[in-house]
Amino acid sequence: MTSAATSPLRPILRPRRQAKRVSIGGLEIGDGQPIAVQTMVKVPTTDYDAVMRQLELAMRIMPEDLPEREQNILKQLNCWNDVCELAPFHTDINRVSVPNEDSAGTFEKIVRNAPMPLVADIHFRPPMALAALEAGTNKLRINPGNIRDPKLLKRIAREAVERKTPIRVGVNAGSLDKDLLAEYGDHSAEALAISAKKSVRLMEEEGVSDIVVSLKANDARWIIDAYRRFAVDSPYPLHLGVTEAGCGRAAVINSWAGLGSLLQMGLGDTIRISLTEDSRLEVVVGHLLLHYLGLPRFPYAG
């Protein structure tokens, strides 16, 4: 019998926060559902064949299929054996950029043929939100606080409600309102949480209830505090991520530190480990984090 002194330590997890259930292209998150692992397409959306290839590759990821650089990062993290044992890996949700009209035209075809739910990222171009919704996106990523035209915001909200398309309210530390920066200063988790609450309120006022929220910064300590503050009185699912995490082993560790702490607190319904490397590495290290914490994942369905 293994004694308490020598038994392996297990993470101490708080009960998961019971967020509102939201359906993203048939994939349900929140309300005790498994935690979804997300990545993003890293080729131009106008290149249909290249996008579809990345989407297909993300559906079944084997260690030996990763480029040498990505394999070496996993070996430097001393988790290569775990990766080989847990494979294959898969992407639950993928993010695709829709920054202009040309990409919107291709995006419609991509959505029709994608093997997983897609999130449209409009890159600070609010009119493209309507184009992405019209193209049939499964989820729309916007920052309502950055949409200065109230009529356009109403149109986006109305279209999302009619199409039953969830909106991911994405608030970024790099684009906080000047009044919040003046009051709270730089690197304020409170300002980030307040900004997110204001943005959510704008969506609620327009009748949107299928909402996912993300609060992004490049400092793990900052996002831990911001998510904790926001989650106290919000019912919506949370997408976790450290923005501009960078590359290599240090970037993985930075994201693991921030996301791992939040997940242990019971916060988080979808995650993305943001890296400059091959997007498949983001998926692998995302699944590894959930595995190490003993948290539920959507099973591989291949």
Which pair of structure tokens corresponds to residue 52? 């579809």
Band of pLDDT at residue 301, cut at 50, 70 and 90: confident
Give 215: exposed, middle or buried? Use CB within 10 Å, 0-12, 13-18, 19+: buried
Band of pLDDT at residue 70, cut at 50, 70 and 90: very high
Band of pLDDT at residue 245, cut at 50, 70 and 90: low
Please compute the mean of the pLDDT values over residues 15-38 and round it to a whole number: 96
Q: Model confidence over 246-278: pLDDT tens digits?
A: 788 999 998 999 999 999 999 999 999 999 999
Interatomic CA distance for residues 280 and 40, integer angstroms: 9
Interatomic CA distance for residues 284 and 37, integer angstroms: 9
Band of pLDDT at residue 4, cut at 50, 70 and 90: very low
- What's the pLDDT score for residue 7? 43
Interatomic CA distance for residues 179 and 176, integer angstroms: 8
Q: Model confidence over 11-21: pLDDT tens digits?
A: 678 889 999 99
pLDDT > 80? residue 91: yes
- What's the pLDDT score for residue 3? 39
- What's the pLDDT score for residue 156? 95
Q: Model confidence over 111-162: pLDDT tens digits?
A: 999 999 999 999 878 899 999 999 999 999 998 888 888 899 999 999 999 9
Interatomic CA distance for residues 140 and 24, integer angstroms: 10
Interatomic CA distance for residues 274 and 260, integer angstroms: 14
- What's the pLDDT score for residue 9? 59
DSSP string, 77-138: TT-HHHHHHH--B--SEEEEE--SHHHHHHHHHHHHH-SS-EEEE-TT-THHHHHHHHTT-S
Cis before residue 88, ω within 30 degrees of 0? yes
Sheet harboring 270-271: ordered strands across?
211-216, 167-172, 139-142, 118-121, 93-97, 36-40, 270-271, 239-240
- What's the pLDDT score for residue 203? 93
What's the chain's average pLDDT? 91
DSSP label of 141? E
Q: Model confidence over 192-225: pLDDT tens digits?
A: 999 999 999 999 999 999 999 999 888 888 899 9
Above pLDDT 70, what percent of the chain?
Answer: 95
Q: Please, what is the Cα angle at 292 between 290 and 297, to 5 degrees?
A: 25
- What's the pLDDT score for residue 8? 53
pLDDT > 60? residue 6: no
Q: What type of residue is 290?
A: L
Q: Model confidence over 167-197: pLDDT tens digits?
A: 999 888 777 788 887 888 777 889 899 999 9
Which pair of structure tokens corresponds to residue 10? 């297990």
- What's the pLDDT score for residue 5? 42
Structural contact between residues 248 and 213, judged by C-beta atoms closer than 8 angstroms: no
- What's the pLDDT score for residue 204? 95
In the chain, the domains with their CATH numbers are 22-293 (3.20.20.20)
DSSP string, 271-283: E----SS-HHHHH
